[in-house]
Structures are given as C-alpha cells and as structure tokens.
Amino acid sequence: MKHRGRHRRRRRGAALRAALAGTALALTAAATIVSASQATVAADPGALKPLTSTADTARLQLQEHLIPRRSLDRLASAMGGTVGVADVLTSADHNLRKAAECDSDDQDSLPVTPAADEAYCWDPTDTLTDDWRPASVTTSSEADDDGLWGANRVVLAGWTHSTSTGPAASRGLARVAVINGNGSAHPSYAWVLLTVPSTDGTTYRGLTSQISGMVWYEDKLLVTTTLGSADALYVYDLNRIQRTSVMTQAIGRVRDGWSAAGFRYVMPAVGSYRFTAGACSRSGAPCPSALSVDRGTAPDSLVLGEWTPADSDQHARLWRYVFDESPERAGLLATDTFGRADAVEAYRTGASEIRGVLSYRPPGATDSEWYVGHLPGAMDGHGSLWRQDLKGARAADCGSDASHRCWAAATGSLSYAPDTGEVWSVTDSMLFSVPLRSIDASLG
C-alpha cells in the first residue's frame, strides 16, 4: 500500500466527456432556466477580513486525541485483520450512471455556469428513499500528489443518514462510498460504515455525524462532526478498513461475530480533534462544515469553513492548520508538545450557509484565492460559488437578471485535484467535477 506520494428528493413524475457530448445542449438549456425563487441576486460577501487578535485565533485551537494503537490492533486482530482501499474496490457491487442516463431532476441540480465536465448519478438501489444523502467528497488527488492510491484513482463520497426517518438503528449514521475512478463509464463503488471503537478495542459503535466536510490526506480521512459535538473532527486510517461477518442491523460485536447495520466494511476512527474552547457553538468555537486540502502551501494545509445561518449577525470564519511533516504522523495535524494545533491563517467572510471551501494559490502569486460555495437562503435552489481575497469577491453571472445563483443545487463540499485541475463536488443526487480553469473563466 502506498503511504504517500441521494438522491435529491424526487419531484414525482475527463472520462465522461465523450458520453456527455450528446446531452450537453440539453443540460445547458435545462440549467439556464432558473426559477423566480432562484433569481434573487446573491449578496456579495465582500473581501476577506483577516483575524489576527489572540481572542479570535484562540477559539480555533484544537486538541488532538488519538486512540491507543494497542486498542486499534486488538480490534483489528479480533475481526480478522485489516483490508485496504484496493480490496474494497475489488468487491464493489454498485455502479454510478453517466449523466445522460440520469433523471432530469438530477441533471437540473448540476451547475449552470460553468458546466460540469464529468457528472454521474448514483445506483438506483441507493436512492430509493431520502434517508441517506451525500454531502461531501474527496479524492486520491488530495491524498497524494500523483493522484493515485496504489494503482487506483479513487473518489470518496460521504453520506449521512437522516436523524428522523428510516430504521431507528441507522439514524444519524455516516457512510463512505469508495469509488473506482480509473475511467469507466459506469464507475463501481462499495460502502464503508464509519465507526468509533471503544477505548479498550473490544467493540465499536456507529459514528453519528453530519459529515458535510471530508478530506483524504496521506492515509488519513478527516470528517466533520455534528453541531454541539465535543469533537470537531474525527480521524480515520484508510489502511484500517475491516470486514464484518454478520449482516444484521446491530453495530459492533454480536454473538456470532461482527455487524455494522448491514454493511460489509467498517472503518474505525483512530482519533479526533476537539476545540480547546469547548464544543462548537454559534458564539464560541466554530462548527466546521467544509474541509479541503491545500497543496499549494508549505507545508500542505487543511482548509476549513464554518456554516452560519443566512440571517446571522455572526460572519463565518475561514481558516487553516498545517499538516505534520513527520512520517510517523502522516495525515495528522502539526501539534505542539501538548498535542495542540493552532490555526496559521484565519479570516471572516460575508458568505453564509457555507457548504464548500477551497484555497488555491496560483503559480507565482503571493496570496491564496479562496473559493466559497454557499446557499444564501435557498436550500432547494441553485447556490453561488464566490472567489474571495483581501480585495473583494467575484461570482459567475447567469440569466438575464445577472443572478449569481449559477452553482449546483443543494451542493456539498469541494475537493480540488491538483494533478488534473478538476474541482469535485456533490449535489444531493449527482457527483460531478468542473475544471478550476472553467470556474475562473466564468468569473470574468
């Protein structure tokens, strides 16, 4: 193993480039029809405002909590050992469908401007109900600079189960689709349930979390948690995926073996990060909603954005931590001798309801551009994607009213692939990518 380098509620009724060619005109025509409710021009979030006071930056400090290796090894041994991403891909039994084969409502959720370069909808077996919804995405291009994990190009999509519908045992759970990104017109994927092991490593429970943000860096997967949770981020190890042996709705050790709500694979957390200022809140420590990796900084860094209501007086924060460069701490944040990680850069943004964030420094530039995807007061409509810096903000215009609602509908997190130049994201029914150069060109 290389160590380094939903379905959208249905209203009743560059591998895909060639396959999408025949539907490009139809997609474009459908996307440019924006309803009156979507035509409100999004408020300009303005320039980023640096946060430099100790009072502001202290609230961003994280405390690392790692689960003892002996406990993780005990669990792995009891379950028959670990498997890797390649093993999961080999047993993939679900398939994505190319955009031309997708429901028209699904297609309508794609960005208006710029158009998606690649787009897929999910296997129908995963979209029969609204109980599970995708919200985050990351790729092996974030994990390693050559874009591959072993011999495979891989996309991970994070889904969260509703807390109010579906089987009680599944409510609030989080799962990850491990997708084969090697170029098939119908990429295959398999599911892995995210879990949290007991302190002694004798069993595990399901992670109940809204994984609206997710990044894959080195061999670690970092995911966001739920508002009010003591933990801000959970950490997983892609080399510690484990097979279950009993297909029941129970989660953890059962009489005849190991179960995970019907899933064949589980991935137990190896640690978490908590704000030293306490559980996230609207007035204190932030509640991360979006994550991404910035490979343009030195060292590479973890970029975060928080979700705030559209009518909030509190402007959202954008900030970053650097990753540890020590091989023995691959994929973990750089910390001091007390296990604390401090933000190395932080800003306030006028954008609200942030669903995705990227930071990218063009070659030769001295400052980074920040890309913020948000849904200003329109959870069912198209959102906006703004590029912000210390001077101001820009977003694409679409429609005769110069609306900035040009991005995808009910969109999720953003993930940049430096090796291909693609930005990946999800709506509640589609997985898609757009070249960063197309996003920049749409900004004028």
User: Amino acid identity, residue 397?
Assistant: D
How far, CA to CA in Å, does 398 sit from each of 33, 57, 105, 430, 440?
10, 37, 19, 21, 14
Beta carbons within 8 Å of 344's beta carbon, 6+ residues apart: 301, 320, 321, 322
Asked, for residue 372, whether it belongs to a domain, the answer is yes
How far, CA to CA in Å, does 381 sit from each of 66, 105, 125?
40, 12, 25
* CATH number of the domain within which 299 lies: 2.115.10
CB 295 within 8 A of CB 68: no
Beta carbons within 8 Å of 438's beta carbon, 6+ residues apart: 114, 115, 117
In the structure encoding, which two tokens stand for residue 270, read together?
């190896």
Q: Output the tens digit of pLDDT for each of the chain's 444 residues.
A: 444 443 333 332 333 333 333 333 333 333 333 333 333 444 789 999 999 999 999 999 999 999 999 999 999 999 999 999 999 999 999 999 999 999 999 999 999 999 999 999 999 999 999 999 999 999 999 999 999 999 999 999 999 999 999 988 899 999 999 999 999 999 999 999 999 999 999 999 999 998 999 999 999 999 999 866 788 999 999 999 999 999 999 999 999 999 999 999 999 999 999 999 998 876 678 889 999 999 999 999 999 999 888 887 888 999 999 999 999 999 999 999 999 999 999 999 999 999 999 999 888 888 899 999 987 655 557 899 999 999 999 999 887 555 788 999 989 999 999 999 999 999 999 999 999 999 999 997
At residue 28, the pLDDT reads: 39
CB 110 within 8 A of CB 429: no
Asked, for residue 40, whether it belongs to a domain, the answer is no
For the whole model, what pTM was predicted? 0.90
Domains in the chain, number: 1
Cα–Cα distance, 202 to 10 (Å, whole number): 42
* Bridge-based pairing state of the strands 340-341 and 62-66: antiparallel
In the structure encoding, which two tokens stand for residue 291, read together?
């994550």
**SS3 of residue 439 by DSSP:** helix
Asked, for residue 2, whether it belongs to a domain, the answer is no
At residue 223, the pLDDT reads: 98
At residue 201, the pLDDT reads: 97
Asked, for residue 27, whether it belongs to a domain, the answer is no
Asked, for residue 293, whether it belongs to a domain, the answer is yes
In the structure encoding, which two tokens stand for residue 428, read together?
């509640």
Asked, for residue 32, whether it belongs to a domain, the answer is no
**DSSP label of 333:** B
Asked, for residue 94, whether it belongs to a domain, the answer is yes
User: Amino acid identity, residue 12?
Assistant: R
* Bridge-based pairing state of the strands 251-254 and 288-294: unpaired
How far, CA to CA in Å, does 22 sit from each of 16, 18, 29, 168, 186?
11, 8, 13, 43, 17
Cα–Cα distance, 312 to 316 (Å, whole number): 9
E runs forming strands in 18-152: 49-50, 62-66, 94-95, 97-98, 118-121, 132-139
CB 5 within 8 A of CB 145: yes
Q: Using the structure block, give the residue that is written with the tokens 């679409």.
A: 398
User: Amino acid identity, residue 228?
Assistant: G
Cα–Cα distance, 335 to 85 (Å, whole number): 28
**Containing domain of residue 196, as a range?**
51-442
Around Cβ 162, how many Cβ atoms within 10 Å? Answer: 16
Asked, for residue 29, whether it belongs to a domain, the answer is no
At residue 144, the pLDDT reads: 95
User: Amino acid identity, residue 361?
Assistant: R
Cα–Cα distance, 440 to 387 (Å, whole number): 8
